[in-house]
Structure 1
Amino acid sequence: MKIAILTIGNELMSGRTADTNSSFIAREANLQGWQVEAMLSVGDDFAAIKSRLDYLLPLADVIICTGGLGPTTDDITTEAIARAFGRSLFTDEKSLNYIKDLFARRNFAWVENNTKQAIFPEGAEIIPNTMGTAPGFALKVNAKWIFVIPGVPRESQIMFPRGVIPILQREFPEKEQFIAKQTIKTFGLGESAVDKALSDVDFNALGVNIGFYPIFPENHIVLVSRKKTAEEAQEKLKLAANEVTTRLGKYIFAYGEETLEAIAGKLLKEKKLTIAVAESCTGGLITSRLTDVPGSSEYLERAAVTYSNAAKVSLLGVPAGIIEKHGAVSEETARLMAEGVRKMAGTNLGLSSTGIAGPDGGSAEKPVGTVYLAVSDGKETICRRYVYKWDRKRNKLIFSQAALLLLKNYLEGKR
């Protein structure tokens, strides 16, 4: 089966919003063994939408459209689809009642233009939206299918696998395949280095597809096996994953969809440990990531952004003489920050960061991108120095990644 993707919205054409829906849908479609033939974006314009549909229909069996299903005047996708294929519009009372009930439960004032989200082309099969107000729909046009779902990524990323894929499997029954998938997350190697490390593995001979997905500062490897039986698919996937682990083991920090901060949090819970964080160059980013994990209050006691030297001295007890002698960005300061925040909070562990995010402030001895990270448990303090060469924003992100990896390794007994 061939699929085309059409993302709709003036915000895409102006560059104000990045199109993440196409890449997500393409990945999910490929996991099913379906071929993505084309991806296009178009603004909120009746003639332009029809033109793109006319272009894509000869190329694909299915067109997946996202965007333009809201209540405002520029949300014209439903009407544009109806016009393009000569269909009248109708109001679906079940959808309308659902939307009204959702407004009532959220204590939102009802505005009549929201009725627009319950209007569909004649013959449409409605796709429920459990994450928002606008349902999607599927429309059969001769032997082709048009799907329309919202453009909001958190909604489309639920509705595509739960609403669109089941209809496609129903309407395009193919030879049954069992699919096994594994995501392997790495940190510390660039995409090209990851590819080179795996260049001697014949994944085709194993019957496994491999994909490389750089998601800064991580690189994800996705392995997909499609076989006649679930057992065979899992067996081939395991062989491929073992080949990856053999070559990249020291750079792998997770298998599956878990984040680094979630793994660190899980380890803290399992060991019944508490932690406090003192941040300088990361400006609270380490703490933000830790608190992205539900239930983090069980182990995170407090955090302090001690950005100035005075804050390091007054809040964490770092002696002013140490900072004067070694500098705020130094191993000595990082160690004392971790020890100081642990003592201040009365926690089992203290974690700290101090560095130079840039673009200014570097020297020959400590260039921009230098960071010192430390973890302390009251008996020992482990400190690491790294130098990265990114812009300020990415340096801060990679500093936080390295800090969380240091914490994870400590909790796993890796010194």
Structure 2
Amino acid sequence: MGARAGIVVTGTEVLTGRVVDRNGPWLAERLRELGVDVGRTVVVGDRRTDLAAALRFQLADHDLVLTSGGLGPTADDLTAEVVAQVQGRTLRLDADLAEQIGRRTADPDAARKQALVPEGATVLPPIGTAPGLVVPGPGAPVVVLPGPPGELQPMWPSALATDAVRAVLARAEELRQAEVRIWGPREPELAALLRAHEQAHGSLADAGLEVTTCVRDGELEVVTRYRPGAAEAYERLHQALRDGFGPQVYADDGRDLDEVVAGLLLARRATIATAESCTAGLLAGRLADRAGSSAYLAGGFVTYANAAKTTELGVPAGLVEQHGAVSQEVAEAMARGARERLGTTIGVGVTGIAGPGGGSAEKPVGLVHLAVAADDGTHHRELRLRGDRSVVRRRTVVAALHLVRTVLERPGTMEG
């Protein structure tokens, strides 16, 4: 039987890319956890006709529709009004709600606008000044949520507790999601493996597997969604990926690269220090993004200038003059210097040419040298990356984390 939901994200600022949509993906994952499949997410600007059309489009073939945004006090906040129109409901002033909102704002007209509620709707108590709504059909109900994630997410439990939403959830079936992350192979290799698997076992879709592949900063990500009845088919696919790529499959339990590296550092009771040139602290920042990073991240150095490499990390000036700042020798010296200066288990050195200028025939834009210094020596990788400056820097950080991972995964390395 199952249940399907559609999402409508509103706001011209989202439509034009000035604001990145965080609500659509967040709601889709929360619904997936509840066994509700999301058929479509539609983004529309603050135009009455477009919003009405998007709502009707989603209501046509979904059991539940959710909206985010458009609940503020300004003239372009139209969601409650348009949802009422589409659902055939009259807007009425909720005097108690207007009084409640009025205590949070000095503008009585704004409070009145935000307290206009479609007849028969359930009001979700506001987190800020915008209340949420659950507006019944005649067909599927519409859950109307505010745009700021800090208001939408805390309001979500109230939406789930309403009778209309609970009735939809009663028809939901478990929807599992499995993620396999691979480092090393190219996308054509993955495509060939999947083709061979289908030739041997039949169509993935016919087996009940919805497989999505993605290349993200050089990594391959395979995400599979399936109902419990397709569990055996997924296990065959999972084993094929394991057999085909072996240790290049670095995570198949839902963890991302940051979690894997953090887990290895904690398991080894290892500490890490960074020395960065072209990435200018991005690697240290990525390591610090995860809560609890103080257990393993000692600190880092940003040494753009050659003089800084010498004074801060102890890289010999003659080494830079002989091999150039972007070289294996300097990257290794940077890694050793960071490790020695901060007394850590491992040190990471990063030096490269991110562009758009600064390259040469011998050392083109996109050339990066990475090094990790550890108890068993210094490990080096050379990268030849394509893309603009931001792409080169971002992919360099990912490659550096994978080098750290492979060093930490070596048998017998830094056992805790």
**Is the shorter-chain TM-score for this pair beyond 0.5, marking a shared fold?**
yes
Q: Residues 337-348 of structure 1: matches in 2 within 5 Å?
A: 337-348=334-345
In 2, distance between residues paired with 1:262 and 1:291?
A: 12
Q: Residues 6-405 of structure 1: matches in 2 within 5 Å?
A: 6-19=8-21, 21-22=23-24, 32=35, 34=37, 36=39, 39-54=41-56, 56-84=58-86, 85-91=88-94, 113=110, 120-127=117-124, 134-152=130-148, 163=159, 168=165, 170-171=167-168, 173-174=170-171, 177-202=173-198, 203-204=204-205, 206-227=207-228, 234-405=231-402
Preserved contact between residue 179 and residue 223 of structure 2 (Cα < 8 Å): yes
In 1, distance between residues paired with 2:187 and 2:389?
A: 21
Partner amino acid, structure 2, of 1:184? V
Preserved contact between residue 78 and residue 121 of structure 1 (Cα < 8 Å): yes
What is the deviation of 1:290?
Answer: 0.3
What is the deviation of 1:287?
Answer: 0.4
What is the deviation of 1:374?
Answer: 0.9
Cα 1:187–1:116 change in 2 (3 A) is farther
Preserved contact between residue 208 and residue 237 of structure 1 (Cα < 8 Å): yes
Instruction: State the secondary structure of the residue aligned to 2:89.
Output: coil
Cα 1:35–1:320 change in 2 (3 A) is closer
Preserved contact between residue 91 and residue 119 of structure 1 (Cα < 8 Å): yes
Cα 1:21–1:242 change in 2 (3 A) is same
Partner amino acid, structure 2, of 1:317? G
Preserved contact between residue 347 and residue 373 of structure 2 (Cα < 8 Å): yes
What is the deviation of 1:128?
Answer: 6.3
Preserved contact between residue 356 and residue 388 of structure 2 (Cα < 8 Å): yes
What is the deviation of 1:388?
Answer: 1.2
Preserved contact between residue 217 and residue 397 of structure 1 (Cα < 8 Å): no
Instruction: State the secondary structure of the residue aligned to 2:280.
Output: coil
Cα 1:296–1:27 change in 2 (3 A) is closer
TM-score in terms of structure 1 length = 0.82
Preserved contact between residue 271 and residue 345 of structure 2 (Cα < 8 Å): yes
Partner amino acid, structure 2, of 1:124? A
Query: Partner residue of 1:106?
Result: none
Preserved contact between residue 123 and residue 139 of structure 1 (Cα < 8 Å): yes
Instruction: State the secondary structure of the residue aligned to 1:404.
Output: helix
What is the deviation of 1:407?
Answer: 0.7
Preserved contact between residue 14 and residue 43 of structure 2 (Cα < 8 Å): yes
Cα 1:191–1:23 change in 2 (3 A) is farther
Cα 1:2–1:377 change in 2 (3 A) is closer
What is the deviation of 1:380?
Answer: 1.1
In 2, distance between residues paired with 1:296 and 1:5?
A: 35
Cα 1:148–1:344 change in 2 (3 A) is same
In 2, distance between residues paired with 1:258 and 1:111?
A: 47
TM-score in terms of structure 2 length = 0.82
Instruction: State the secondary structure of the residue aligned to 1:78.
Output: helix
In 2, distance between residues paired with 1:396 and 1:266?
A: 24
Cα 1:70–1:362 change in 2 (3 A) is same
Cα 1:259–1:13 change in 2 (3 A) is closer
Identity within the alignment, %:
34
Cα 1:196–1:157 change in 2 (3 A) is farther
RMSD over aligned Cα atoms: 3.5
